[in-house]
């Protein structure tokens, strides 16, 4: 009796062991298959830092949307050299501290090969030491000229320098023989940078700034500043800010009956500005990337094809037209794609290939990077547009 | 003369902005006068007025006056809900606790507005057209006349209600002494709810008439609320006229300061005046002193 | 006393050995920020939880410490440690001077006065572009260094910052347990009663305000040297609100609770990055819910909750037994 029982137990245990061994072999081989598969298809990871919420969300949201859209498109057409592209993005809320934290996370935890963004100059300046230390290329979507001047090894940008916008406006003023201007800038990073450039370039362009006024991002009424400007000898007003401030300035100016020519910055190159300012927008002139007048550009314009493609693609995905700001992300993603294709996809190689990019027809303009110039654009990246009948028109 | 014209314009614009601050400050004063609570969420009701009107008028396509009425009703409902859920359970708590709760409430309302309607700024159409009215060389918008008018009506209604009606006097009694009020048969809890309802309705009205001028977005209530609060403190919360005077003073000084001294520090002006008043005469320029119970 | 010592030693030991388990990953970087915000939260707690004085303008002292350190080192190439000492002393002096007039106020009025102070300081940071760089910020702030060691990696900064945190907590716990701490608590309960008992209420309030300012400035200086870039946006009104939330979550008056609050509010967004858009709603709800249902914060609320649950479980079990 005892012997049979012992035998039974032994047989049962032996069968159980067999089952376990077989199951383990199956699972292990399946795992092996999966891992081998993913090795050969290991995606290229790029990081994204966008201010999707917070005051600069009008920048970060289109940028993130565009980046997602482009990465999807690239993957649908086979990826880059057979490898999928993966975008890991974090919302910085426009906060420099959060941008730094997110950048560190992208580099240390997500192990990205390159980073796109951030959306604002302030955040970019904060992130620069992080990427320089880690040796990861950064393509910022912010406009401050300080980002690439002086040039930093790992830092590039796709948004046009605000200095170029200022030059365009001053050129136009000189053409119209206007020499005294009043500037009205917003007290945030974008406005402060613009104000700096306006003051810096005035003398060389033969422009005198006779009034230098500031308004806050949440101000509801700029009449006081405009009255002061009216009392000065200004022949034109340049307002530098992002929606909704400039729209209020335009309306206040109309209410006061100010007839001086009013210029704005590329910060308001969007349909939203016309919507907010209403009739007060008529006749306002500003420098902008070509994207907002894509459909009225000459057929011979080298950027027209990519511009129209972008505008319509974005519309199909997100129901509104692609704008100036989303374009910065388009340029960044496509520049990265080209750099990865030409090199081996490592951070160092991406950086080198970016530096060697010539004649890249992007949304913001035609890019030519060199070891001394990591911004890549000239003032031709901007066109002058004006509002006529609530639409953007090219100024000849 | 150039300077006089300028000063006139500064003053006129300052008065219009000041009337906005006055309206918002009145909302603070009403709640404070019945409950001794400072409702940091007051600014959000101003935001709700504008945003809800936008929602009803533009998104749902309703006729503007109907949208306005619905917006005020909805904002009032939010105010009542806030009072029932967050304020009344804690009516006897320390001031710190109430301050924190109302701050939390303002953040919550703002967050929900952001989730529902996004972060965009929107313009509302002016009630009486876009053409400015010129007074002695200075320009003022018809919308500003609306603001002055509505403020005047509300102050008068305020005065009549709080000093000449039973409910109004009952509410004032609650702020003087809650226990005594209960002893004479006043339903204190109902009075507190009432004061929140009136306040949020007023805030919403302020938001609606301001929106065509200032444009509206989910965070428009923050600064407006703070400035409105400055107006209430500076003018004194014990009388409606005091609060209104405070608002007008803040508005005009802001405008003059921005025009004559420096536009960058415009926002600081209201707070500097606030600090000065708090340190020299905490009950406000026109307020009556308060005694502290030990 | 012994219990407090035990608590402190356990805390210090955990803090000092934690990085060994974390192997220098990204989380060490986050913990550096947790450390900085812990100092700030403790500073606010001393003022708010202990002494009962509402301050909605702590970010001003944080920012002043950061900017004084930053400008002295980035623009005037001063020695970072000297700059830190100057920043701390200067902010202490400012807090002392401001404290006398401002702390005459109480309750809502004090809250508004500190709020106004915070906003004015923020506007000054924004407008004095020539000194602070204005809204575009100030970059190029050097790291701190001792002898040959430069604090330029997350691990090194972790130990740098948390050494200061440990000292801050030691001093604060000591203060809280001392005669001065009891006097402050008396002021919290009733200023008049405290005065009758011989407490120099006015001076003590200003002194704790100054201490709070000094700690906040220290945090600001550390922030400037670890991030190497500062802009006014990091020192605005919303930061003061975040600090308030941290103190509430942790528990008014509980020093270790402030650490908990700072940790939770800094770590949670990292864990829940998918819910980024909802964070304002969460903040507001947390503030309201915690203040209503757990006024002692998590430090007291959780054990209380656990205890009450235990009691109910025991009661349930014993009622079953009796059946």
In what helix (H) or strand (E) does residue B174 lie, and over which residues does it extend? Answer: helix B166-176
Given a cut of 50, whether residue A36 has pLDDT beyond it is: no
C122, C126, C231, C238: which to substitute to probe chain A, counting the most A Cβ within 10 Å? C231
Domain count for chain C, please give it.
1
Residue of A109, A125, A189 with shortest CB distance to C26: A109
Residues of chain C in contact with residue A187, where contact means CB-CB under 8 angstroms, are 126-127, 134-135
C26-45 vs C154-177: helix crossing angle, rounded to 10: 20
Q: What is the pTM of this model?
A: 0.85
B42-54 vs B221-235: helix crossing angle, rounded to 10: 140
Q: What's the pLDDT tens digit per position in C203-222?
A: 999 999 999 999 999 999 99
What tokens were used for C185?
Answer: 């608590």
Q: What local confidence, expressed as pLDDT, does residue A32 receive? A: 45
Q: Residues, chain A, total?
A: 396
Cβ–Cβ gap C26/A193 under 8 Å: no
Given a cut of 60, whether residue A20 has pLDDT beyond it is: no
Contact of C112 with chain A, judged by CB distance below 8 Å, is answered with no
Cβ–Cβ gap A223/B13 under 8 Å: yes
Given a cut of 90, whether residue C122 has pLDDT beyond it is: yes
Instruction: Report how far residue B201's alpha carbon sits from residue B42's, in angstroms, rounded to the nearest whole number.
Output: 10
What tokens were used for B248?
Answer: 């007008």
What tokens were used for A317?
Answer: 């995905």
Given a cut of 60, whether residue B256 has pLDDT beyond it is: yes
Q: Please indicate whether residue B148 or residue B96 has the higher confidence score (pLDDT).
A: B148
> Which of A120, A86, A127, A125 lies closest to A105 in space, CA to CA?
A127
Range with the poorest average pLDDT among A61-65, C33-37, C267-271? C267-271
What tokens were used for C177?
Answer: 């347990």
How distant is the Cα of B284 from the closest Cα of chain A, in angstroms? Answer: 25
Q: What percent of chain C has pLDDT over 90?
A: 42
Domains of chain B plus CATH, in order, are 2-120+132-280 (1.10.3470)
**Hey, is B141 helix, strand or coil?**
coil
Residues of chain B in contact with residue A213, where contact means CB-CB under 8 angstroms, are 263
A326 CA to centre of own chain: 6
Contact of B106 with chain C, judged by CB distance below 8 Å, is answered with yes
pLDDT-derived band at B214 (thresholds 50, 70, 90) equals confident
Q: CA-CA distances (angstroms) from residue B132 to B129, B273, C35?
A: 9, 31, 56
- Asked if C81 and C219 count as a contact pair (C-beta separation under 8 A), the reply is no
Given a cut of 70, whether residue B116 has pLDDT beyond it is: yes
Contact of B144 with chain A, judged by CB distance below 8 Å, is answered with no
* Mean pLDDT rounded to a whole number for chain A: 86
> Which of A245, A254, A304 lies closest to A279 in space, CA to CA?
A254
What tokens were used for B146?
Answer: 């609306």
Residue of C127, C137, C229 with shortest CB distance to A187: C127
Given a cut of 80, whether residue B119 has pLDDT beyond it is: no
What tokens were used for B40?
Answer: 């940091």
Cβ–Cβ gap B123/A223 under 8 Å: no
Instruction: Report how far residue C290's alpha carbon sits from residue B195's, in angstroms, rounded to the nearest whole number.
Output: 25
pLDDT-derived band at B289 (thresholds 50, 70, 90) equals low
Domain enclosing residue C171, as ranges: 2-322
Cβ–Cβ gap C233/A101 under 8 Å: no
pLDDT-derived band at A34 (thresholds 50, 70, 90) equals very low
Range with the poorest average pLDDT among A53-62, A203-212, B15-24, B48-57? A53-62
Contact of B99 with chain C, judged by CB distance below 8 Å, is answered with yes
> Which of C28, C59, C289, C279 lies closest to C159 in space, CA to CA?
C28
Contact of B100 with chain C, judged by CB distance below 8 Å, is answered with yes
Given a cut of 80, whether residue B237 has pLDDT beyond it is: yes
Q: What is the DSSP letter of A356?
A: T
Q: What local confidence, expressed as pLDDT, does residue A38 receive? A: 39
Residue of C29, C136, C152 with shortest CB distance to A121: C136
Residues of chain A in contact with residue B122, where contact means CB-CB under 8 angstroms, are 276
pLDDT-derived band at A28 (thresholds 50, 70, 90) equals very low
How distant is the Cα of B117 from the closest Cα of chain A, in angstroms? Answer: 13
* Mean pLDDT rounded to a whole number for chain C: 88
**Which ipTM did the prediction report?**
0.87
Residue of A52, A96, A187 with shortest CB distance to C137: A96
Range with the poorest average pLDDT among A185-194, C52-61, C284-293? C284-293
**Given the structure tokens 């000239």, which residue do they identify?**
A378
Which of 251-270 (C) contact A at CB < 8 A? 270
Q: Which CATH number fits the domain that encloses residue C175?
A: 1.10.3470
Q: What is the mean pLDDT of residues B180-198?
A: 85
Q: Please indicate whether residue B181 or residue A140 has the higher confidence score (pLDDT).
A: A140
Q: What is the mean pLDDT of residues B211-223?
A: 85
Side-chain-side CA neighbours of C179 within 13 Å: the count stands at 3
Q: For A302-361, where are the E strands, in sequence order? A: 360-361
Most confident of A135-149, B214-228, C135-149, C307-321: A135-149
Q: CA-CA distances (angstroms) from residue C54 to A334, B201, C214?
A: 52, 29, 17
- Asked if C102 and C117 count as a contact pair (C-beta separation under 8 A), the reply is yes
Cβ–Cβ gap C231/A94 under 8 Å: no
**Given the structure tokens 């990204």, which residue do they identify?**
C26
Instruction: Report how far residue C178's alpha carbon sits from residue C201's, in angstroms, rounded to the nearest whole number.
Output: 16
Q: What is the mean pLDDT of residues A247-276?
A: 89
B29, B104, B258: which to substitute to probe chain C, counting the most C Cβ within 10 Å? B104
A347-355 vs A324-342: helix crossing angle, rounded to 10: 110
Range with the poorest average pLDDT among A23-27, A291-295, C49-53, C158-162? A23-27
**Hey, is A288 helix, strand or coil?**
strand
Residues of chain A in contact with residue C126, where contact means CB-CB under 8 angstroms, are 187
Q: What is the mean pLDDT of residues A63-92?
A: 91
Cβ–Cβ gap B108/C291 under 8 Å: no
Given a cut of 90, whether residue B48 has pLDDT beyond it is: yes
pLDDT-derived band at A13 (thresholds 50, 70, 90) equals low
Find the residue in C nearest to B119 (Cα).
C277
| Numbered residues of chain A with Cβ closer than 8 Å to any chain C Cβ | 52-53, 90-91, 93-97, 100-101, 104-105, 108-109, 121-122, 125-126, 128-129, 133, 144, 146, 187-189, 191-193, 196, 214
Q: What's the pLDDT tens digit per position in B257-272?
A: 888 888 888 889 999 9
Q: What local confidence, expressed as pLDDT, does residue A5 receive? A: 60
Instruction: Report how far residue A5's alpha carbon sits from residue A2's, in angstroms, rounded to the nearest whole number.
Output: 5
Contact of B226 with chain C, judged by CB distance below 8 Å, is answered with yes
How distant is the Cα of B56 from the closest Cα of chain A, in angstroms? Answer: 19
């Amino acid at each position: 009796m005892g012997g049979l029982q012992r035998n039974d137990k032994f047989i049962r245990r032996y069968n159980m062991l067999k089952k376990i061994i077989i199951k383990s072999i199956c699972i292990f081989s399946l795992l092996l298959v999966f891992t081998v598969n993913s090795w050969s298809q290991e995606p290229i990871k790029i990081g994204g830092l966008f201010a999707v919420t917070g005051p600069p969300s009008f920048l970060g949201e289109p940028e993130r949307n565009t980046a997602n859209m482009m990465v999807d498109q690239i993957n649908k057409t086979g990826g880059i050299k057979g490898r999928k592209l993966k975008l890991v993005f974090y919302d910085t809320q426009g906060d420099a501290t959060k941008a730094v934290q997110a950048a560190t996370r992208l580099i240390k935890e997500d192990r990205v090969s390159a980073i796109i963004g951030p959306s604002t100059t302030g955040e970019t300046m904060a992130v620069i030491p992080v990427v320089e230390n880690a040796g990861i290329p950064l393509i910022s979507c912010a406009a401050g000229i300080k980002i690439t001047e002086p040039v930093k090894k790992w830092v590039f940008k796709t948004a046009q320098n605000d200095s170029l916008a200022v030059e365009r406006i001053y050129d136009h003023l000189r053409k119209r023989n206007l020499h005294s201007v009043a500037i009205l800038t917003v007290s945030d990073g974008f406005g402060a940078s613009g104000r700096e450039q306006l003051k810096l370039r005035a003398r060389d362009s033969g422009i005198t700034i006779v009034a230098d006024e500031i308004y806050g991002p949440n101000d509801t009424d700029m009449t006081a500043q405009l009255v002061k400007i009216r009392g000065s000898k200004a022949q034109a007003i340049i307002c530098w800010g992002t929606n909704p401030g400039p729209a209020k300035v335009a309306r206040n100016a109309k209410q006061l009956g100010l007839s001086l020519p009013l210029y704005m910055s590329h910060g308001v190159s969007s349909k939203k500005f016309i919507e907010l300012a209403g009739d007060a927008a008529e006749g306002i002139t500003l420098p902008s990337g070509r994207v907002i007048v894509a459909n009225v550009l000459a057929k011979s314009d080298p950027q027209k094809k990519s511009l129209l493609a972008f505008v319509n693609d974005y519309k199909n995905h997100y129901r509104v037209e692609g704008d100036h700001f989303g374009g910065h992300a388009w340029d960044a993603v496509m520049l990265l794609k080209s750099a990865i294709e030409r090199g081996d996809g490592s951070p160092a190689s991406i950086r080198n290939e970016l530096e060697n990019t010539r004649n890249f027809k992007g949304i913001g303009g035609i890019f030519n990077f060199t070891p001394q110039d990591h911004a890549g654009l000239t003032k031709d990246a901007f066109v002058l547009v004006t509002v006529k009948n609530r639409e953007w028109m090219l100024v000849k | 003369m150039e300077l006089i014209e300028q000063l006139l314009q500064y003053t006129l614009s300052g008065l219009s902005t000041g009337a906005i601050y006055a309206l918002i400050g009145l909302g603070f004063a009403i709640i404070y006068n019945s409950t001794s609570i400072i409702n940091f969420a007051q600014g959000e009701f101003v935001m709700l007025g504008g945003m809800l009107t936008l929602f009803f008028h533009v998104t749902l396509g309703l006729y503007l006056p109907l949208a306005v009425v619905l917006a005020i009703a909805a904002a009032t409902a939010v105010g009542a809900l806030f009072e029932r859920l967050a304020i009344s359970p804690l009516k006897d708590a320390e001031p710190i606790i109430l301050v924190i709760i109302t701050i939390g409430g303002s953040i919550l309302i703002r967050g929900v507005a952001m989730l529902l309607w996004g972060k965009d700024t929107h313009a509302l159409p002016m009630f009486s057209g876009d053409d400015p009215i010129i007074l002695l060389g200075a320009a003022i918008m018809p919308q500003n006349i609306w603001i002055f008018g509505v403020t005047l009506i509300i102050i008068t209604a305020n005065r009549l209600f709080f000093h000449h009606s039973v409910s109004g006097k009952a509410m004032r009694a609650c702020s003087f002494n809650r226990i005594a009020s209960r002893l004479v048969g006043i339903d204190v809890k109902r009075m507190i709810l009432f004061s929140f309802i009136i306040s949020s309705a007023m805030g919403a009205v302020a938001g609606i008439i301001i929106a065509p001028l200032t444009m509206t977005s989910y965070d428009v209530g923050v600064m407006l609320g703070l400035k409105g609060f400055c107006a209430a403190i500076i003018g004194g919360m014990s009388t409606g006229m005091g609060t209104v005077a405070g608002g007008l003073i803040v508005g005009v000084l802001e405008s003059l300061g921005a025009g004559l001294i420096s536009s960058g520090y415009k926002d600081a002006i209201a707070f500097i005046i606030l600090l000065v008043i708090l340190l020299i005469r905490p009950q406000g320029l026109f307020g009556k002193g308060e005694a502290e119970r030990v | 006393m012994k219990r407090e010592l035990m608590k402190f030693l356990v805390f210090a030991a955990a803090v000092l050995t934690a990085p060994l388990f974390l192997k220098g990953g990204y989380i060490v970087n986050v913990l550096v920020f947790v450390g900085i915000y812990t100092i700030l939260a403790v500073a606010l707690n001393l003022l708010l939880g202990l002494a009962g004085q509402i301050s909605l303008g702590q970010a001003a002292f944080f920012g002043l410490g950061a900017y004084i350190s930053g400008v002295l080192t980035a623009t005037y190439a001063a020695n970072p440690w000297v700059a830190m000492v100057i920043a701390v002393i200067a902010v202490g002096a400012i807090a002392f001077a401001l404290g006398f007039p401002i702390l005459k106020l109480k309750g809502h009025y004090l809250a508004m006065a500190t709020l106004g102070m915070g906003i004015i300081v923020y506007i000054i940071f924004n407008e004095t572009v020539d000194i602070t760089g204005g809204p575009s910020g100030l970059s190029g702030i050097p790291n701190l260094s001792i002898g040959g060691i430069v604090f330029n990696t997350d691990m090194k900064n972790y130990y740098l910052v948390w050494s200061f945190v440990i000292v801050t907590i030691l001093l604060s716990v000591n203060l809280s347990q001392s005669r001065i701490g009891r006097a402050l608590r008396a002021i919290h309960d009733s200023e008049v009663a405290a005065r009758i008992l011989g407490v120099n209420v006015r001076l003590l309030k200003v002194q704790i305000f100054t201490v709070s300012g000094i700690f906040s400035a220290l945090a600001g200086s550390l922030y400037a040297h670890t991030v190497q870039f500062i802009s006014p946006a990091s020192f605005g009104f919303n930061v003061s609100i975040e600090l308030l939330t941290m103190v509430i979550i942790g528990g008014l008056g509980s020093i270790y609770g402030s650490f908990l609050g700072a940790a939770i509010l800094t770590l949670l967004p990292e864990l829940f990055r998918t819910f980024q858009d909802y964070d304002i709603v969460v903040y507001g709800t947390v503030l309201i819910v915690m203040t209503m249902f757990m006024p002692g914060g998590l430090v007291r609320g959780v054990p209380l909750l656990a205890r009450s649950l235990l009691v109910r479980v025991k009661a349930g079990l014993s009622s079953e037994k009796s059946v």
